[in-house]
Structure 1
């Protein structure tokens, strides 16, 4: 049973809950909470690393991150119709397409914008200071995907959604897109021992994205894509090492082992001078 789940978990989780969202458009919050519950239960039952299931004093903080950032997403959806009226180019969005095709188009376009902002956040110092909050994690589990500085969250959301607003994305598609992004973030940072096979070359799920959280300096500047690995192939940043199992000692920011843990301190950290140390060397198995 566990073997079957490990091979089917990622596509079944994403497609299954998106289908639920399409079927229950007025119950997207309930669908999202159900996805969180399934994520946590499966991580306990089929963990990639059992140590990552242990609370390191970070669960309350991560819950605060999730509440704040998802609340910002909700506010964004509330003002979306007004922004669309003001900015959209009439008649561009293919409203005659089936809903799932419109959602797929939105995912592809948003993925490009978010990925490019993510890439820039590893290249431009002020953006990195904001993004570093996300990279400070010492373990990977579903909620890590929702752990971001709210200013960086807004920058990524703008990069992903502004082109869609200009094209006139309908509210119902935008709501489903927000659900799909939240589901994908749960999958990207999941502690489920999932198997992808050839799908690892296409989808940016946990077995691929874990390498992005390596603490070894620029070695972690790989696998920036949110949904798809296509953009990393184009950027030359795709990376995967078969057989290497990431552990507690591989994660975080190597030059800042004392990165603040508390929520309030993380909110202030981008605006304070940072003390850095020499980064640890890349393990031979990852060279």
Structure 2
């Protein structure tokens, strides 16, 4: 049974979520509820199975970092994300009115059927998120924000919500807001969420998955754990959000079928002064202190 879970959990959650979404769309059910149920189900599977099929047993248990992750999850899910979803469309409409609206790309997208629109939106959003993530590793002032996400010295399901609000805002501005400017329909945006949520809910999970060829398509936990290595040459890889498409294109993909794990998870040696064991508020404000979070090298 464990072998089946290890091999097929990712595929099952992705297919299950997309099936639920398309059924909801076909029969006129609430699409937002379908996406939410899929995300909650994927997270529950990740959280529960970590005790049954862990990648690292030493990462189990209630570490000191769980308070940081829980606080961050509340801030991101209950405050930051709803604010952005409200303000984004309002700002997009304002920009449209200011500049007259319309573009060749927006017109082309509007003329496509649902599936081609969805595929185009996936590629565009993933491209924006790829560069947002990569710049958070290469620009010092952005790394100050992103250090919070990398400060945990273990990986488990709740790490997925460990973000500085300004880091989350930057990801939104490059990965979501351009789609709003293009006038992408709500059901297409929700279709992208239905695809991305199961991958994201498993991405940081402490699970011994063996997803095989899917590791070359999705940003799985097997691929993403290299990104959390404390060694810069390993961590500056695999920037993909849901897919690793743009990592292949830009030469930043890294995956080893055997011995596929970095020796240590966490911040780089250059960030030894960062309060990685501090509270959420301590780490949140650390980004604004002079001398914080030097880039590697």
TM-score when normalising by structure 2: 0.83
Q: Which residue of 2 aligns with 1:264?
A: 281
Distance change in 2, residues 1:61/1:228 (3 Å): same
| Higher mean C-alpha deviation, range 146-155 or range 227-236 | 227-236
Structure 1 residue 20, shift from structure 2 partner: 2.9
Q: What is the alpha-carbon distance in structure 1 between the residues aligned to residue 43 and residue 210 of structure 2?
A: 20
Q: What is the alpha-carbon distance in structure 2 between the residues aligned to residue 230 and residue 140 of structure 1?
A: 23
Q: Which residue of 2 aligns with 1:117?
A: 132
Distance change in 2, residues 1:76/1:210 (3 Å): same
Which runs of 5 or more residues in structure 1 are unaligned?
A: 280-287
Runs of 4+ in 1 over 6 A off after TM superposition: none
Q: Which residue of 2 aligns with 1:85?
A: 93
Structure 1 residue 120, shift from structure 2 partner: 1.1
Q: Which residue of 2 aligns with 1:250?
A: 264
Q: Which residue of 1 aligns with 2:75?
A: 68
2:176 aligned with 1:170, yes or no? no
The aligned runs of 1:204-223 (5 Å cut-off) are: 204-223=219-238
The aligned runs of 1:1-287 (5 Å cut-off) are: 1-22=1-22, 23=24, 24-27=30-33, 28-71=35-78, 72-86=80-94, 87=96, 89=102, 91-94=107-110, 97-98=113-114, 101-178=116-193, 180-246=195-261, 250-255=264-269, 256-257=271-272, 259-260=274-275, 261-274=278-291
Q: What is the alpha-carbon distance in structure 1 between the residues aligned to residue 292 and residue 121 of structure 2?
A: 40
Q: Which residue of 1 aligns with 2:27?
A: none
Q: What is the alpha-carbon distance in structure 2 between the residues aligned to residue 172 and residue 83 of structure 1?
A: 20
RMSD, aligned CA: 2.7
Q: What is the alpha-carbon distance in structure 2 between the residues aligned to residue 4 and residue 170 of structure 1?
A: 37
| SS of residue paired to 1:62 | helix
Distance change in 2, residues 1:201/1:58 (3 Å): same
Q: What is the alpha-carbon distance in structure 2 between the residues aligned to residue 232 and residue 140 of structure 1?
A: 21
| SS of residue paired to 1:29 | helix
Distance change in 2, residues 1:18/1:263 (3 Å): farther
Which runs of 5 or more residues in structure 2 are unaligned?
A: 25-29
Q: What is the alpha-carbon distance in structure 2 between the residues aligned to residue 153 and residue 125 of structure 1?
A: 17
Q: What is the alpha-carbon distance in structure 2 between the residues aligned to residue 275 and residue 150 of structure 1?
A: 17
Q: Which residue of 2 aligns with 1:285?
A: none
